[in-house]
Structure 1
C-alpha cells in the first residue's frame, strides 16, 4: 500500500512538472524570422496588429535557413517567417518535422547583382557567378541563368529541383560559386555577379532597383508563415493569418515594400 501511494505521488509530481514545462500564456507569441524585410514586416506591420488584440509578441531573428524550423518544431517558436513552400516541404520531409504553411507574405524576389559590372552583357568566359548553395534557391538561380542564356539545362529538368548536375551547356563559360545565402551580399566584393535572396539583399543595403535582373516570382517561391501542423487551427494561428490578410497590413506593405510579390 505504501509502495502504491509513493508511486502515485511520484507519477503526480512528474505530470505536474510536465504540465508546467508546457504551460504558456496563450497571448504570448514568439515569432522567428530572418533579418531584413521579413523581420520588418513582423515588427512594424504585424506586431502592432496582434498587440491590439492583447498579444505580447517577441521576435527572434536568425542568420541562417536551418535553425528557424528546428526551433519551431521543438516549441521555442510559435511561428516563423523566412521560407517558401518548396524549402519548407523539403526541409520538413528530410528532418521529419510536422510543420505547415499558414499564410503567404509579401516577398522580395531573388535577383542578380554586381558591383563590378553595370550590365549582364559584360559576362564572358571565366566570369564568376555566386549563387545560393541550398537546393531550392540554387534551382531558382539556375533557372534565371538559363533564361539569361548563360547556361542551358537538360531537357525536361524540373525547375523546382534543378541543380548543377542538370547543366547541359555553359555557352558563356561562367564559373559558378555556390555559397550560403547569407554570405552572398559579401560575395559581391569578389565575384563578378551574385544571385541574392531578397531578404539578404535588402538587409545588406541593396535595393530591388539595384538588381540587374529580378526573378518573376512564382507561387512556389512566395514566402510564408509556418507553424506546427498541430497548431494550424488554433486561435493564435488564425489571428496571425488574419493580420497578414488585413487591410492595415496590406496598406503598410504597399507603402514600405513596393514591388513585393504576394499570392495569398
Structure 2
C-alpha cells in the first residue's frame, strides 16, 4: 500500500477522532452559569494582558514523536513557555504519519519530529500547506548490532532492517552504500533513493527488511544489523555511542513545522526563541551528547551533501 493511501486513511480516522473530541469539549461547559462564564473570561483576559504572550494564541499544542523530542518539551520548553504565560500541551505520537495530518487539521499548532526532506515529500504527496521554522537537536541515524555485533561480521545473505518510510529508507540505503555493502546507481538523488536505485547487491546479497521506525529497536534480535532512527534508539535505552556506524550527513537535522498561515505570529517566535535560548542549549548539551545541533547554533561542521535550507526561515529563527 502506498504512503499516500495510508495517509488518507489515517487522515480520515484522525479527523473523526478530532471531531469527537471537539464535541466532548463543547458539551463539558454547557451547564456553567452565565455569570461564571463571564467571570472566567474576564480573569483569562486579565492574565493574558499581564503576560508576555501572543494575546490571540495563549495555548500552544505541540506534537512530537515519543522519545527525545517529547522529552525536550516536557523537561525544558514547556516550562519556559509556561513561565512566559502560555498554556502548553504536548501530544506524543508513535509514527511519522499522524503528526503532519494532525497539524494540517488544526489539532496541533506545531510539530517537531521530522527532517526537511521528509516534510517536503509528505506535504507534496498529501497536498498540505505546511512550512518548516527552526531546527532542533537530532540523534543521527545509525546502524546497530542485531545478531551480529561488529561490521566485520557482515556476510553474504545477511539481513538488515531499515525504516520503511521513503525518506528514511533512502538514508539507510546511502549508509549501506557508504559502507560498501551495496552500490547505488550513479547520479541518483540520495534523498529519494529506493530499492530500484540499487545497482549491485551481489557482494552481500542483503535481505533488507522494512519496518515501522518504532519497531526497529524491538526487532534487533531478529536481524543481523538494524538501521535505527536516533530518537527511537535512545527512547529504547540504546546509547548513540553503541552505533556501529552513524550517518555522516547533516542534511537530516530535524525541523519544527507549522501551518503556513501561522508564519510570523508571535507565539511561533516565542517557541522558536525557547528552542534557541541559552538555557535550552545548556540542557541539550548536558542531556543529548553526540547529537547533531541546529545549524544556527554554529556548532556543527557541515558537509557538501547538506540539503539547501530556507534562508528566510533561518533568519527569522535568529531574531
Pick aligned residue for 1:240 from 271, 283, 308: 271
Cα distance in 2 for partners of 1:139, 1:123 equals 20
| SS across alignment from 1:139 | helix
**TM-score, normalised via structure 1 length:** 0.89
1:213 aligns with 2:245: yes
Could you tell me which of 189, 194, 198 is aligned with 2:221?
189
Cα separation, 2, equivalents of 1:51 and 1:102 = 21
The runs of at least 4 aligned residues of structure 1 exceeding 3 Å deviation read none
Please, what is the CA RMSD of the aligned residues?
A: 1.3
> Higher mean Cα deviation, 113-122 or 161-170?
113-122
Deviation at 1:217, TM superposition (A): 3.3
Residue 198 of structure 1 and its aligned partner are, at CA, apart by 0.6
Contact 2:146–2:226 (CA under 8 A) maintained in structure 1: no
What's the counterpart of residue 141 of structure 1?
A: 172
Q: Do structure 1's residue 129 and structure 2's residue 160 form an aligned pair?
A: yes
Distance 1:165 1:238 in 2: 42
8 Å CA contact 2:172–2:227 kept in 1: the answer is: yes
Match of 1:172 among 204, 213, 216: 204
Once residues 233 and 145 of structure 2 are traced to their aligned partners in structure 1, the CA distance between those partners, rounded to angstroms, is 12
- Deviation sequence 1:227-256 (CA, Å, 0-9, x none): 111102111101011111111101100010
The answer on 1:115 being equivalent to 2:146 is yes
1: CA distance, partners of 2:101 / 2:170: 23
CA-to-partner distance for each residue in 1:84-122, whole Å, 9 max, x for gaps? Answer: 101111111111111110100010001011132221110
What residue number does 2:36 align with? none
Matched, 1:85 2:116: yes
- SS where residue 259 of structure 1 aligns? coil
What is the alpha-carbon distance in structure 1 between the residues aligned to residue 216 and residue 226 of structure 2? Answer: 6
Distance in 2 separating the partners of 1:213 and 1:155: 23
Please say if 1:225 is aligned against 2:256: yes
CA distance in 2, matches of 1:127, 1:55: 52
Contact between 1:217 and 1:261, CA under 8 Å: does it hold in 2?
no
Residue 121 (structure 2) pairs with residue 101 (structure 1): no
Q: More relative contact order in 1 or in 2 (CA 8 Å, sep 6+)? A: 1
Match of 1:70, SS state, is helix
